[in-house]
Amino acid sequence: MSATRVRIRFSKHGKVRFTSHRDVARIWERALRRARVGVAYSAGFSPRPKIAFGLALSTGFSSDAEYLDVDLDPDRAAGIDTETLVAALTASLPAGMTAMAAAWLAPGEPSLQHAVTSCTWRIDAAGADALEASDSLERALARGELLVQRERKGRLDTDDIRPAVLAAEVQGNITDGVRLIAELGTKPRAVRPPELLASLDPPLGLLRAHRLHQWIATDGLQRREPLAVAELSVAGAGLAP
């Protein structure tokens, strides 16, 4: 049987980044219908389109590395060419959202939620210049643990995020602060850029966060993107796998 599940990579920039993860799901359902892509529906009393999203992107963050997996109606999937699909989807998406690539998935490929192990972020922060930020980042990374507090089901939990900070460096000054690049793990839970900034001493304030990559670790040393896009691969250069 030929593949009917397609993985799509898309970006989210500008005004549309203020939509929520749930909003984005609805936007995709409607964009797929406008593009006349035959999506498969779940069976049962209340059929739902079979679309699976990866990690949620916080409202307000931008990204060049968002993903979704779409099950196509087998009767209508044959003959669909991924390049045409990408163009049709971009035309149907709101301004600021662009379909970047699409590829057929082999049967049995693990879900995005399950497979993705880390993300590379570009983080703009206020409260320090590049030198100060480098210094506090270095001290933080040298520590055995990085404790952050977060509210969970109404009570405060303390988490050590140090194991999930896979790489982090200060890239330089920007007009309103400082720019960091960091690779943050997603297992057992995704560490978010503001948590990294809050764990520094003194803490930095988040201005903007932009997801550059999502990564799937293939073994202890190797990693790959769920769907690579050639011209973007430079963005996270200089960081260790």
* Triad 234, 164, 233: Cα angle to 5°: 10
When the beta carbons of 30 and 224 are compared against another protein, the nearer one is: 30
Candidate ranges 38-46, 103-111, 135-143, 224-232; the one touching another protein (CB under 8 A): 38-46
CB 177 within 8 A of CB 123: no
Determine, following the binding rule CB under 8 A, whether residue 112 of this chain makes contact with another protein. Answer: no
Which sign does the torsion angle of CA 91, 94, 98, 101 carry?
A: negative
Determine, following the binding rule CB under 8 A, whether residue 43 of this chain makes contact with another protein. Answer: no
When the beta carbons of 124 and 183 are compared against another protein, the nearer one is: 124
When the beta carbons of 92 and 214 are compared against another protein, the nearer one is: 92
Determine, following the binding rule CB under 8 A, whether residue 145 of this chain makes contact with another protein. Answer: no
Determine, following the binding rule CB under 8 A, whether residue 4 of this chain makes contact with another protein. Answer: no
Determine, following the binding rule CB under 8 A, whether residue 30 of this chain makes contact with another protein. Answer: yes
177-206 residues near another protein, rule: CB under 8 A: none
What is d(CA 123, CA 206) in angstroms, rounded to the nearest whole number? 7
CB 201 within 8 A of CB 211: no
Tell me how far apart the 2 most distant CA atoms of the chain are, in Å: 60
Kindly state the tokens that stand for 11: 């970006």
When the beta carbons of 19 and 63 are compared against another protein, the nearer one is: 19
Report phi then psi at 216, rounded to 5: -115, 115
Determine, following the binding rule CB under 8 A, whether residue 22 of this chain makes contact with another protein. Answer: yes
CB 216 within 8 A of CB 202: no
Secondary structure (DSSP) of 8-36: EEEEE-GGGGGS-HHHHHHHHHHHHHHTT
Q: How many residues in the shown chain lie near another protein by CB under 8 A?
A: 25
CB of 94 to another protein, least distance (A): 5
Binds another protein (CB under 8 A): choice among 16, 87, 126, 130:
16
CB of 95 to another protein, least distance (A): 6
* Triad 194, 166, 140: Cα angle to 5°: 60
70-99 residues near another protein, rule: CB under 8 A: 92, 94-96
* Residues near another protein, by CB under 8 A: 15-16, 18-20, 22-23, 26-27, 29-34, 41, 45-47, 59-60, 92, 94-96
